[in-house]
Amino acid sequence: MLIYFVSFVDKLWFLGLFKVWSIMKPNSFRWCCRVMLGFILMSPTLSIGQENAAEDAFSAALSNLKAGSMQERGQAIEQLAAVEKPQAVAVLQALLDGRLFNLKADGKLVIGEEVETDYKLTDAESGENLGMVERSATQKITVNNSLRTSLRKIIGRLQLNDDNAAVRLAAVSAMGQSIDDQSLALLRGQLIMEQDERVQNAIKLILGLEQLNSPDKRVRLAAIDLLKDQAGRNVVNRLNGLVEKDSDGHYLEADSDVRNQAEAALSKINSQLQAYAAIETLFFGLSLGAVLVLAAIGLAITFGVMGVINMAHGELMMLGAYTTYVTQQLMPNHLGLSLAIAVPAAFIISALAGIIIERGIIRFLYGRPLETLLATFGVSLVLQQAVRSIFSPLNRSVATPEWMSGTLQINDFLSLTWNRLYILIFCLLVFVLLLQILKRTRLGLEVRAVAQNRKMALAMGIPTGRVDALTFGLGSGIAGVAGVALSQITNVGPNLGQAYIVDSFMVVVFGGVGNLWGTLVAGFSLGIANKLLEPYAGAVLAKILVLVFIILFIQKRPRGLFPQQGRAVEG
């Protein structure tokens, strides 16, 4: 009844018009009232009938999607495209993404979202939440390459008028993968109305590439002028095609003006590509530097402040990496949470191991650096063999959480890996936290006092033995945290720490013994230098060249970039 009432109110203004007419022609008014009354009563029924027809068509299309024939599924896709329902777009997108399933229990068509090892299901027809099921309870609705192409076109057309600019951008990209005359016409119309600059550029790119096929020289020249600011693989390939020669030595593009403009556009694009390559090299250098800083920052405390040559530092990192592995084994369905728990767990385990090493061995060897080197080298062998006995000599793989996987794709020529980006951020957070501990806590004050003048600190009542143990534990804990980061970029094994121990000492010595800022600058500098040299000299020779540079540098400045007073200097 509510529908009838709303429809009736919606048409009252017609009665007002007829009332004016009735004053002039009473008989005509009676006849029109009968017609209007029928229209008012029938209109809601027609609307309901149309809605029911749309629902029936939607249900029929979903049923056809479950058919085994790809031809029937293709017809079902066309039917869904014709149904004006937001849920139809969701179903088509799920089908394209491989997230549309047939529920084996009752044959219901569902959309599945992967949650760890199970699926979170939504009813494809109603959008109702159906809860979690095991993967074995579902059967995926598959499509072939032809249907995928068709799906991209259809979804693009349906989403082209969406209010969300990101959705429109994705729609344009999908349409550009398989363009036809109808899609071109839609994109031209959309370009006139489009307000978002990113979407405009995406449309211009597609239209420009298509205009390169035009027989009209002026159109091709205009297309090249448009594409010269678009640095994409398709653009570079198409422009290269205009300036290349065939097997007979003839240019593929006969017109010299078009070729010259294409070469000028390629020159401009190549300058952009060089800038992207430089940014990518800088990023990989910083990410390598972050790994070096994480590996060396704990050593900067134990070696730089305490004067102990700790050859077991790499094995303390190994303990942190194995802690990550064990945590993940205990929480296999919660990778992100297990990684978050592994950070403090690795710190505690490695710190306790460091305190035991300091109290049991190193405290008897202060002032005798050669003996500390030999003793900690023996400790490193013991830790390696212990790990081999517990976990076996084989490397262990630590899974990366979904939010750390993949790459941040900025454009066709520039992408940044998420795991290294997060490690870079993590390195800076650890550095800032350690700096605050050393500058704003009582432990930090005592560490700095002992480092500057051990005898005076002892005379002032500072318990140097406790400070030594906590300092060594702090440096060892930071090494364990570094192991957590390393587990995300390499396999975890008994020899994990050996690959970084030499680099760690190199960073500490180059930056300045005992100076955290020097460790940070040295780590990033050596990382960037390695990545700059690798394209020309190769990975091994690049590392050798960096080592030679450090040897020559230490000859000139034995105390590194940022020299610091400390116990080692006093000795």
Residue 506: closest CA among 543, 541, 556, 477? 543
0.75 surpassed by pTM: no
- The confidence score (pLDDT) of residue 76 equals 77
Q: Is 352 exposed, middle or buried (0-12, 13-18, 19+ CB in 10 A)?
A: middle
- The confidence score (pLDDT) of residue 564 equals 63
For the CA atoms of 190, 196, 202, 208, the dihedral, rounded to the nearest 10 degrees, stands at 60
% helix / strand / coil in the chain, to the nearest 5?
70, 5, 20
Query: Between 173 and 375, where is the model more confident?
Result: 375
- The confidence score (pLDDT) of residue 283 equals 92
Residue 297: closest CA among 64, 477, 533, 493? 477
Integer angstrom CA distances of residue 361 from 116, 308, 495: 45, 11, 23
Which residue is listed with tokens 């309901």? 48
- The confidence score (pLDDT) of residue 350 equals 94
Residue 505, amino acid:
F
Helix (H, G, I), strand (E, B) or coil at 103: strand
- Given a cut of 80, whether residue 75 has pLDDT beyond it is no
* 67, two tokens: 């058919």
Q: What single-letter DSSP state applies at residue 514?
A: T
Integer angstrom CA distances of residue 117 from 132, 133, 137, 256, 398: 10, 10, 12, 59, 17
pLDDT tens digits along 86-106: 677 778 778 877 888 877 777
* 193, two tokens: 């109305």
Are the C-beta atoms of residues 84 and 51 closer than 8 Å to each other? no
The sheet that has 138-140: what strands, in order across it? 129-134, 118-123, 109-115, 100-103, 138-140
Residue 62: closest CA among 48, 50, 75? 75
Counting every residue written for the chain, the total comes to 571
Give backbone dihedrals phi and psi of 310, rounded to 5 degrees, phi first: -95, 95
Q: What is the average pLDDT across 248-255?
A: 72
Residue 111: closest CA among 512, 128, 304? 128
**Region of poorest pLDDT, from 58-67, 237-246, 497-506, 543-552:** 58-67
- Given a cut of 50, whether residue 393 has pLDDT beyond it is yes
The span from the first CA to the last CA of the chain, in angstroms, equals: 96
CA angle 95, 96, 100 (to 5 degrees): 20
- The Cα 282–Cα 305 span in angstroms is 31
Q: HSE-up of 271 (CA within 13 Å, CB side)?
A: 7
Are the C-beta atoms of residues 100 and 142 closer than 8 Å to each other? no
Integer angstrom CA distances of residue 129 from 56, 61, 132: 21, 21, 9
Q: What is the chain's Cα-based Rg? A: 35
- The confidence score (pLDDT) of residue 51 equals 55
Helix (H, G, I), strand (E, B) or coil at 100: strand
Residue 313, amino acid:
H
pLDDT confidence of 25, banded at 50, 70, 90? very low
- The confidence score (pLDDT) of residue 68 equals 62
- Given a cut of 80, whether residue 492 has pLDDT beyond it is yes
**Region of poorest pLDDT, from 21-35, 172-186, 326-340, 500-514:** 21-35
> Which residues are paired to 417 by β-bridges?
407
Backbone dihedral region for residue 122 (phi beyond 0: left; psi -120 to 50: alpha; all else: beta): beta
Residue 564: closest CA among 526, 528, 511? 511
pLDDT tens digits along 32-68: 444 444 444 444 444 445 556 656 677 777 777 766 6
Question: Quick one: which H or E segment has residue 114?
Answer: strand 109-115
- The Cα 365–Cα 357 span in angstroms is 12
Integer angstrom CA distances of residue 344 from 209, 350, 351, 478: 53, 10, 10, 10
Q: What is the 3-state secondary structure (H, E, C) of 21-51?
A: HHHHCHHHHHHHHHHHHHHHHHHHHHHHHHH
- The Cα 159–Cα 162 span in angstroms is 5
- The confidence score (pLDDT) of residue 326 equals 93
* 303, two tokens: 């070696």
> Which residues are paired to 133 by β-bridges?
119
Interacting residues of 276 by C-beta distance below 8 A, sequence separation 6+: 231, 411, 413, 414
- The Cα 494–Cα 481 span in angstroms is 17
Number of H helices and number of E strands within the chain? 23, 7
Helix (H, G, I), strand (E, B) or coil at 515: coil
- The confidence score (pLDDT) of residue 4 equals 41
pLDDT confidence of 20, banded at 50, 70, 90? very low
- The Cα 90–Cα 122 span in angstroms is 11
- The Cα 371–Cα 103 span in angstroms is 68
> Which residues are paired to 415 by β-bridges?
409
> Which residues are paired to 129 by β-bridges?
122
- The Cα 489–Cα 422 span in angstroms is 11
- The confidence score (pLDDT) of residue 501 equals 86
pLDDT confidence of 304, banded at 50, 70, 90? low
Which residue is listed with tokens 């050593």? 299
Query: Between 466 and 10, where is the model more confident?
Result: 466
